[in-house]
Amino acid sequence: MSAVTGPAPAGVPAAETLGARDRRPDPVQVRCAVLANEPDGAYRRLVLDAGEAARRALPGQFAALAVGEPPTAMLLRRAVSIHAATPGDRRFDGADTLEIVVAPHGPGTEWVTRRRAGDVLDVVAPLGRPFPAPEVGAPTVLVGGGYGSAPLVWLARDLRDAGHRVDVVLGAASRDKLFGLEEAAAVVGPDLVHVTTDDGSAGLRGRVTDALAPLARDGVVVYACGPMAMLRAVHEVAAGAGGTSWLAVEESMACGIGVCMTCVLPVRGEDGVTRMTRSCVEGPTFDGDRVRWDAISIGPGGATSAVPADCLGAPVAAGKGH
Amino acid sequence: MTTTATSAGSAGPAVGFDPRTAIGTLELKNPVLTASGCAAAGRELGRLYDVAALGAVVTKSILRDARSGRPTPRMAETPSGMLNSIGLQGPGIDAFLAHDLPWLRDHGATAVVSIAGNDAAEFAELAGRLVDEPGVGAVEVNISCPNVANRGLVFACDPGSSAEVVSGVVDVVGGRVPVLAKLSPDVTDIVAIARACLDHGADGLAMVNTTLGMVVDTDTMRPVLAGVTGGLSGPAIRPIAVRCVWQVHAAMRRGDLRTAPIVGIGGILTGLDALQFVLAGASAVQVGTSTFHDPSAPLRVGAELAQALAARGFAGVADAVGHAHTVLAREGAR
């Protein structure tokens, strides 16, 4: 059975349906033993004995990890995308495993990358909405920037099994920062995997959009994970070709479970109203056509969002009513 | 082997200990509540565990109208804490009454509804909309949110503004549910603010909200938060919060302040953290930022606090409230 989820149920109130076109299992909080921690290029690949969290996870969902030895001074969970969920994983005596890919960005993620087999991680998963399903028979292109490609191999397998054509575009600054090349080739075949690097150390020298452009045609459904600048460029190529883009954003989060309201970005809902929308529960995957790119700035420190003037509840100048 | 953290992290039941407590006329099954802004309106935590097991769910502050909140970044991690600059994002009271309060009621949760307004009249209007709704256990008056454009609008920094807001709410509520005033630590004399609130009819005090802070990014050389400043929370501010509870409870014991229940808030991560607040004078506590670190924290802290109190020979929460003052007084008498 494909894990790609079906369309939204009809009749759900508009206020609750932003992205609610797919089902979403409840998360669990589990203490997971680390079963393996292996290098993969510039990244670490960890396998966790995750029990119920592994049995529930679907492609496109993420996990929120507590970091640091308790009592830790780093209070906020780190959100990492789920590379694979394997109930009854034969490599690990039938354990229900979650596989995550971690890049050491700072002290919290560095701590995670130093965990050894037998160490325990406090994990809340699976979180966020899974990737939505494409129209039956639609051609698909999966675009991953750096380790943003972590959830895409799983998605590629499901899309392939559902009968879709699946091209995979993997891009990174350099060869060591590519992720998932061999796995993707094993799923869709090497001819359908397209590699770009900024420095030309692997594949085509250039950006993922250079490889995406010739694949994008009317009706294409593009799934992309990576930095916001890449997501915007992917959206522009897909939209320009008459296709759809599903973009998994990497917003910084404090909780990952929908209570803190820090990971928001302006997104237009199905009712046409723009809201500052939580990427942890309404996302992390958004329809590129609904993201308010006009309010998003991409700078050296990452992406930031202004509040569009027509956003629900935007500050109103004195004397103006709603 | 995996274990669910919610069960593995909990202390066992404290035999013979009565965990019940009260905030005015509101009786609570245990003294640990969520904190406003750290549990939304309960629904998200309800996907992880039964929110009816909590002392109460304190909602994110409800406003009259929808509010977008601030631009991003809204958050920065700091040592043992975090800054937030959300700006009271929310859908407004109509959506709260239509969707969130019924959910809390249907799930058996005790709801303490936090309200925030632009002026005293708006606070009173919100209280009026809430007071007769089934499922509202108490109203917490958020006069202390630091994320407003004008510091002069932080009501809890001024006794007169605090009194004006509280008296307006108290008049409308008419004693039907307890009214808690949520105070800011960013004042010179917190007893003076507490007095203004209690003299104007507040049934209890929730202490404290975040303290104003900021972080500068040394790479971009600009403030990290889009809103420049934000509220600092987490264990980093716990000693400040315990001190505030201590000072206000001490004033009550001296007779300088009307005695009223205090709900302690500030960086509670464990049962022993909560115990500090109880010993300093709190009848209940709220677990806030720690919920981001450990969603099960409000439940776990409740179990750990009960164990810690039982282990120290207390039969119930009330017996321990302000006990550190008693210990100090005994030492002084010797």
pLDDT band at B146 (very low <50, low <70, confident <90, very high): confident
Mean pLDDT of B36-42: 97
3-state secondary structure of A52: helix
Q: b/e for A282-302, b at 16 or more Cβ within 10 A? A: bbbbbbbebbbeebbeeeeeb
Q: b/e for B35-55, b at 16 or more Cβ within 10 A? A: bbbbbbbbbbbbbbbebeebb
The verdict on a CB contact (< 8 Å) between A259 and B292 is yes
Name chain B contacts of A29, Cβ cutoff 8 Å.
Answer: 4-6, 48, 294-296
Name chain A contacts of B99, Cβ cutoff 8 Å.
Answer: 15-16
Two structure tokens written together for A10: 């009809």
Whole-number Å distance between alpha carbons of A1 and B287: 42
Residue B6 has pLDDT above 80, yes or no: no
Residues 6+ apart with CB under 8 A from B149: none
Which is higher by pLDDT, A305 or B150? A305
Two structure tokens written together for A121: 């991680």
Task: Give the alpha-carbon dihedral of B232, B235, B240, B241, to 10 degrees.
Answer: 90
Chain A interface mutation, best of B74, B107, B224, highest count of A Cβ atoms under 10 Å: B74
Chain B interface mutation, best of A30, A261, A304, highest count of B Cβ atoms under 10 Å: A261
pLDDT of the residue at A319: 43
**B253, B325 in Cβ contact below 8 A?**
yes
Cα angle for residues B100, B101, B107 (degrees, 5° grid): 90
Name chain B contacts of A93, Cβ cutoff 8 Å.
Answer: none
pLDDT band at B12 (very low <50, low <70, confident <90, very high): low
Q: b/e for B226-241, b at 16 or more Cβ within 10 A? A: bbebbbbbbbbbbeeb
**Longest pairwise C-alpha distance within chain A:** 68
- Percent of chain B past pLDDT 70, that is, above it, reads 94
Nearest to A313 among B8, B48, B67 (CB): B67
The verdict on a CB contact (< 8 Å) between B226 and A33 is no
**A115, A121 in Cβ contact below 8 A?**
yes
Q: Measured between CA atoms, how close is A153 to chain B, in angstroms?
A: 26
Radius of gyration of chain B (CA): 19
User: If you count residue pairs, one on A and one on B, with CB atoms under 8 Å apart, how many are there?
Assistant: 154
pLDDT of the residue at A322: 39
pLDDT of the residue at A21: 39
Do strands B111-115 and B136-142 pair parallel, antiparallel, or not at all (unpaired)? parallel
Nearest to A30 among B5, B81, B290 (CB): B5
Mean pLDDT of B60-86: 97
pLDDT of the residue at A252: 85
Q: Does B218 touch chain A (CB under 8 A)?
A: no
- Tell me: the pLDDT tens digits for B98-121? 999 999 999 999 999 999 999 999
Q: Measured between CA atoms, how close is A265 to chain B, in angstroms?
A: 8
The verdict on a CB contact (< 8 Å) between A322 and B220 is no
Distance between first and last Cα of chain A: 48
Q: Measured between CA atoms, how close is A25 to chain B, in angstroms?
A: 9
Q: Measured between CA atoms, how close is A32 to chain B, in angstroms?
A: 5
Where do runs of H (alpha helix) occur along chain A? Answer: 52-56, 107-113, 152-161, 181-188, 208-212, 228-240
The verdict on a CB contact (< 8 Å) between B68 and A252 is no
What single-letter DSSP state applies at residue B97? I
* Entry pTM: 0.93
State residue A37 phi and psi, 5-degree precision: -145, 100
Whole-number Å distance between alpha carbons of B37 and B116: 12
The verdict on a CB contact (< 8 Å) between B68 and A313 is yes
**B64, B126 in Cβ contact below 8 A?**
yes
**B160, B196 in Cβ contact below 8 A?**
yes
Nearest to A27 among B1, B47, B72 (CB): B47
Chain B interface mutation, best of A72, A75, A249, A322, highest count of B Cβ atoms under 10 Å: A75
Whole-number Å distance between alpha carbons of A184 and A149: 10
The verdict on a CB contact (< 8 Å) between A73 and B80 is yes
Compute CA distances B301 → A68, B10, B271, B275, whole Å. Answer: 20, 8, 5, 10
Q: Does B89 touch chain A (CB under 8 A)?
A: yes
Mean pLDDT of B290-318: 97
Two structure tokens written together for A226: 């990576």
Give helix then strand counts, H and E, for chain B.
12, 17
Name chain A contacts of B290, Cβ cutoff 8 Å.
Answer: 75
Tokens 């505030």 belong to which residue?
B244
Name chain B contacts of A251, Cβ cutoff 8 Å.
Answer: 72
- Tell me: the pLDDT tens digits for B265-287? 999 999 999 999 999 999 999 99
Nearest to B72 among A122, A258, A264 (CB): A264
Write the DSSP assignment of B28-68 as a string of letters: ESSSEEE-TTSSTTSTTGGGTS-GGGSSBEEPPPB-SS-B-
Task: Give the alpha-carbon dihedral of A98, A99, A103, A104, to 10 degrees.
Answer: 60
Whole-number Å distance between alpha carbons of A247 and A266: 14
Give catalytic residues of B, as residue numbers: 145
Nearest to B45 among A30, A76, A259 (CB): A259
- Tell me: the pLDDT tens digits for B158-209? 999 999 999 999 999 999 999 999 999 999 999 999 999 999 999 999 999 9
pLDDT of the residue at A316: 79
The verdict on a CB contact (< 8 Å) between B68 and A311 is yes
Q: Does B40 touch chain A (CB under 8 A)?
A: yes
Q: Measured between CA atoms, how close is A219 to chain B, in angstroms?
A: 33
pLDDT of the residue at B1: 44
Where do runs of H (alpha helix) occur along B115-158? Answer: 120-130
Regions of chain A short of the pLDDT cut 50: 1-21, 318-322
Whole-number Å distance between alpha carbons of B236 and B266: 9
Q: Measured between CA atoms, how close is B251 to chain A, in angstroms?
A: 33
Whole-number Å distance between alpha carbons of B142 and B37: 11
- Tell me: the pLDDT tens digits for A226-263? 999 999 999 999 999 999 999 999 888 999 999 999 99
| Partner residues linked to B95 by β-bridges | none
Q: Which residue of B has its CA nearest to A274?
A: B68
Chain A interface mutation, best of B10, B48, B68, highest count of A Cβ atoms under 10 Å: B68
- CB atoms closer than 10 angstroms to residue B79: 11
Do strands B21-23 and B26-28 pair parallel, antiparallel, or not at all (unpaired)? antiparallel
Average pLDDT, whole number, for chain B?
94
3-state secondary structure of A126: strand
Q: Which residue of B has its CA nearest to A267?
A: B68
The verdict on a CB contact (< 8 Å) between B89 and A322 is no
The verdict on a CB contact (< 8 Å) between B292 and A73 is no
Residues 6+ apart with CB under 8 A from B282: B207, B245, B249, B262, B263, B264, B321
The verdict on a CB contact (< 8 Å) between B68 and A300 is no
